[in-house]
Structure 1
């Protein structure tokens, strides 16, 4: 597969670069590579990320709009769009961009009724289109139940903003809103811009640690292919379609059991969840050599932690299950692979350069890949008060939807733990590739496997 010509050099010195443009990052170049131009890929209007927060306290519309402007001015990525011209693809930043804030009224009686209506609002906004060439790339909606109870929804195009970034945005928004109310400057760390990260990435391409990472992936993935899911419809009969989201909550006690077993094995909860998923895949495919992609934050170097942009990397985790006699042995192998992969983290485009056949099985007529992750974003407000407003992230979403944020191909499975000890998850999947019943069966089978392993870890 041949990729598009892309602006290159520290300042993207060709094409629209004369207007101040700069090159795509490796993460964005991969998105550009897989986009088919049909409106359903990463450069289409449905490739969005949406977050919701319940606000308590009297929110001033004018002050919120001004604070939103402060955040847009602070983070250049929110004023930057990806463009293509005769020289290839790159990104352009506007000096100013007016905040996009919509104010609505909501009806809801009991607290439970309001929670459901708030979640319905998130689904409604997630089903809407957001053009990738509009500035700012961030849209905000404030919906009030009454003078002291509101919902804040932030939606952004996913080529410019990742899951970590949306948490940075709401943290900075809360600080700017409080500072404007107090007549002071917000206490926020100094932040660099996404173009600085792109330049750092370009200048690091020949660094020794990058060469070591490339060697690791070349050796680790030799002869490997991502272990796919079987689709319900072959690719030759598929037409581009929307992405549905199946959401669920696991039984009581799952989080506590996973955390306890992870601690006993000197591992993380993600490693335990992934180990169970690998065994579930083996039961369904009969293979011991299992490769599953997951997401890593991609926040290297450390100064990227405060930034807004597209940083996440997809890492293929390869685990040989042969010879494992109990669950502890599987978790140990998963731990070793995770630590090695995180140590040698690279953008997925660079990994594919070392393992070009990695996605072959996942692109076959009846197969597609499934990314598996445990959501662990920073800055998630679980009930914080900043100034005169309380913020609580809406993490527990249980309403499935037939149309939501786009997954370019295959499926994305995300599991999350909340502060109350509950476990819930979501799977985004192409409606033209999978039936909902197949996704339901996948979740049911995995949860059954996980429960069995936690209850009797001495036998597989």
Structure 2
């Protein structure tokens, strides 16, 4: 694979700008994924080989950024395989010692931010830690400017699939992957200014009312940025799915509705605008489902405040449907067209990798525990994720501790759950 150089995609540039802005939150756009894995029969050397070769075959994981003398940013993919996964063996330690050791590893990784200003610095790291004869901890860390959630699913799927193949033929080797992210950059450039999309967003934001939370002047400690997290009880999730079937509305719009309610409680405005992560994996790409990189945009969703939850849900779904055709229009263009530096203080992302089928048939792996970090620069960021294996739904509310605190975010999540219960009860579900 030859070294290549390309301009940044629009969302990449947006993220870089936010990371280099004055005083972003700690760990801003530093993504980290940690998996405690158990296998009935674990061939550790083969699993490590699968990890090394899958990571080495993807040029996007060797991306580096640089800024030219004119200020224009470029991204470069190296020809060499890049940094190797770090391997550690802590199998001789007791369980509590292992947990403490891993907590330090994760914190040390977070406290080593990816350096966008160093043109030689990699933007991806990985670790494999042996915990016993049958268990390992897999940790992947990347700057969000080169990696999105679907890329994670693709990467995990390839690692497990190649490991299965190696168990049958240990001498197999993987061929390098094509740099498909260049296709995404080319598609974005070909779309140009898109006057129809610009006109839509002007109309959509006609009733936009700005709101900014109060921000303290101090510098909170880094451990003040721990997100509020809750896992939906299985019984409540089943009732929500029944309500969705009854209303013929998707689960995603229901969670957006609850987030809108949270923001309405805070602002008291008759209109709420939030940032919505939108999928950029267009069918116009050659390989939309297997391309690695950052392939999403963020758009402002503006929704009126309605008294009844069912009507609010319908309004949110209508806004989602109306904006879907124009969700590729870059946020920077929307901000430019309105002469604004920002339109929202809160962002929402819904992740469901159910269709990715991460574990191949016959795989004997079990996900004992999963964890992660996905910190945006916004004062509030709600990530709703459906686990690809057990289908549990987690709500993770990240917050800037200069604007919010643990008590506020915890109470806000509890109110969300109460509203979801009330909505199900009101629909007879």
What TM-score do the two structures reach when normalised by structure 1?
0.77
Q: SS at 1:90's partner residue?
A: strand
Residue equivalent to 1:371: 347
Residue in structure 2 matching 1:390, options 365, 373, 383: 365
Residue in structure 2 matching 1:447, options 408, 417, 423: 417
Give yes or no for the alignment of 1:331 onto 2:313: yes
Which structure 1 residue ranges, 5 or more long, are not aligned? Answer: 1-18, 363-368
Residue by residue over 1:26-46, the C-alpha shift from the partner in whole angstroms, topping out at 9 and shown as x without a partner, is: 1111113323356847xx976
Q: Given the superposition, is the C-alpha separation of residues 73 and 421 from structure 1 closer, same or farther in structure 2, using an over 3 Å criterion?
A: closer
- My pick for the range that moved more, 161-170 or 412-421, is 412-421
Residue equivalent to 1:101: 86
Contact 1:217–1:354 (CA under 8 A) maintained in structure 2:
no
CA distance in 1, matches of 2:243, 2:27: 42
- My pick for the range that moved more, 74-83 or 29-38, is 29-38
Q: SS at 1:34's partner residue?
A: helix
Residue by residue over 1:277-324, the C-alpha shift from the partner in whole angstroms, topping out at 9 and shown as x without a partner, is: 3234334433222222221222123423211111122122112235x6
Give yes or no for the alignment of 1:430 onto 2:381: no
Residue equivalent to 1:178: 164
Contact 1:46–1:128 (CA under 8 A) maintained in structure 2:
no
CA distance in 1, matches of 2:377, 2:9: 19
Contact 2:264–2:272 (CA under 8 A) maintained in structure 1:
yes
Report the alpha carbon displacement of residue 452 of structure 1 after superposing the two structures with TM: 2.1
Contact 2:55–2:61 (CA under 8 A) maintained in structure 1:
yes
Residue equivalent to 1:412: 381
CA distance in 1, matches of 2:254, 2:102: 29
Residue equivalent to 1:25: 9
CA distance in 1, matches of 2:101, 2:396: 18
Report the alpha carbon displacement of residue 215 of structure 1 after superposing the two structures with TM: 1.8
CA distance in 2, matches of 1:38, 1:280: 28
Residue in structure 2 matching 1:164, options 146, 150, 153: 150
Residue by residue over 1:241-297, the C-alpha shift from the partner in whole angstroms, topping out at 9 and shown as x without a partner, is: 644322223445221121111111111111112223323433443322222222122
Q: SS at 1:426's partner residue?
A: strand
Give yes or no for the alignment of 1:308 onto 2:292: yes
Residue by residue over 1:98-135, the C-alpha shift from the partner in whole angstroms, topping out at 9 and shown as x without a partner, is: 422322325556xxx89977985785466342434566
Residue equivalent to 1:359: 342
CA distance in 2, matches of 1:263, 1:189: 43
Contact 2:349–2:382 (CA under 8 A) maintained in structure 1:
yes
- My pick for the range that moved more, 271-280 or 124-133, is 124-133
Q: SS at 2:7's partner residue?
A: coil
Runs of 4+ in 1 over 6 A off after TM superposition: 113-119, 186-190
Q: SS at 2:319's partner residue?
A: helix
Residue equivalent to 2:304: 320
Residue in structure 2 matching 1:205, options 182, 186, 192: 192
Q: SS at 1:155's partner residue?
A: strand
Contact 2:30–2:114 (CA under 8 A) maintained in structure 1:
no
Give yes or no for the alignment of 1:246 onto 2:228: yes
Contact 2:28–2:377 (CA under 8 A) maintained in structure 1:
no
Residue by residue over 1:398-448, the C-alpha shift from the partner in whole angstroms, topping out at 9 and shown as x without a partner, is: x9xxxx654323121112344656443212222233221111121122222
Residue equivalent to 2:32: 50
Q: SS at 1:313's partner residue?
A: strand
Contact 1:64–1:177 (CA under 8 A) maintained in structure 2:
yes
Residue by residue over 1:341-363, the C-alpha shift from the partner in whole angstroms, topping out at 9 and shown as x without a partner, is: 22211232233233343835x5x
Q: Given the superposition, is the C-alpha separation of residues 240 and 116 from structure 1 closer, same or farther in structure 2, using an over 3 Å criterion?
A: closer
- My pick for the range that moved more, 180-189 or 47-56, is 180-189
Contact 1:224–1:357 (CA under 8 A) maintained in structure 2:
no
**Cα RMSD (Å):** 3.5
Contact 1:321–1:330 (CA under 8 A) maintained in structure 2:
yes
